[in-house]
A = this chain, B = another copy of it.
């Protein structure tokens, strides 16, 4: 069975891809065999898109897909919203409509729900991305909501991380966006027809300039996703960033090391279910004289 799915996957068959992702997502029988048999090398560009809710990420991704499809590219999208099950439904609805609209073998769209108690959405996305890569897509977009407590570490998954922002008061850039600033390879200022856009972009460019490295200066791109403005510039920036990455072989090894670490951690913690752990803690608390480290030891040795 796995062999058949794998053959289909390597040919780029969409139904095989769907099946393979489900097997990995649910850790169904054979998922380890499947993951071990994936070919190593590939040329899929993995692009993470994150930013606060309401920044227009979905619309932007839709426009990017359309532009890439027009020039004959194969594009996959994984949409993740771990923080909001409600939003998830809405997102999924959008995607289904979008999917029908495209109705093309060159586009594949998948929504991922939060894994909750199973712990760790990032490792699961890394595994799924490996599956998508095997189906020879040119681009894989991974879209997440970028808030502080998000369990998805997009910078640990994507080759290129895009942070989408909307124009707001300039002085907040200094403080609250520190987390997003650290992971951005490309900034997109969406809804850039808002009156405060120019000041915002100017401040962001100044800040981005201080973060430049020898091989990459973070571009700040203005877009109006609802009108398709800025889309080509974003695609150009993605391609340029991927070229820049090729110049730094160490960067690739670092990213892989980070992924490997996340996956090892995920597997090593796989037998720990937080709900069961809670029950053990409650029992121990009732007994009295609770010692945290003794409990740790009972799960480690």
Q: Is the CB of B281 within 8 A of A260?
A: yes
| Main secondary structure on A side of the interface with B | helix
Q: Which residues of the other chain, B, contact A300 by a CB distance below 8 angstroms?
A: 264, 267-268
Of A6-14, A98-106, A176-184, A202-210, the one touching chain B: A176-184
Q: Is the CB of A257 within 8 A of B269?
A: no
Q: Is the CB of A147 within 8 A of B53?
A: no
Using A169-B171, A299-B264, A300-B264 as known contacts, say yes or no to A126 and B272 having CB atoms under 8 A apart.
no
Q: Is the CB of B183 within 8 A of A40?
A: no
Using A264-B300, A293-B130 as known contacts, say yes or no to A252 and B176 having CB atoms under 8 A apart.
no
- 1/0 per residue, CB under 8 A from B, across A259-283: the answer is 1110111011100101001100110
Residue A253 is within 8 A (CB to CB) of chain B in the complex: yes
Residue A38 is within 8 A (CB to CB) of chain B in the complex: yes
With both chains docked as a complex, state the minimum distance between the C-beta of A189 and any C-beta of chain B, in angstroms.
Answer: 14
- Interface residues in A96-149 (C-beta closer than 8 Å to B): 126-127, 130, 146-149
Q: Is the CB of A126 within 8 A of B292?
A: yes
Using A148-B180, A172-B172, A300-B267 as known contacts, say yes or no to A260 and B295 having CB atoms under 8 A apart.
yes
Residue A243 is within 8 A (CB to CB) of chain B in the complex: no
Q: Is the CB of B36 within 8 A of A293?
A: yes
Q: Which residues of the other chain, B, contact A296 by a CB distance below 8 angstroms?
A: 260, 263-264, 267
Give the CA-CA distance A288 to B260 in the complex, in Å: 16
Residue A4 is within 8 A (CB to CB) of chain B in the complex: no
Residue A70 is within 8 A (CB to CB) of chain B in the complex: no
Question: Which residue on B lies nearest to A277, using beta carbons?
Answer: B257
Which of A127, A172, A285 has the most B CB atoms < 10 Å from its CB? Answer: A172
Residues of A near any B CB (own CB < 8 A): 32, 35-36, 38-41, 52-55, 83, 126-127, 130, 146-150, 166, 168-169, 171-172, 175-180, 182-183, 252-254, 256-257, 259-261, 263-265, 267-269, 272, 274, 277-278, 281-282, 285, 288-297, 299-300
16 A-B pairs with CB atoms under 8 Å apart are A38-B293, A40-B290, A52-B175, A146-B148, A148-B148, A148-B178, A148-B179, A149-B182, A169-B171, A169-B172, A260-B295, A261-B274, A261-B277, A263-B296, A265-B265, A268-B269
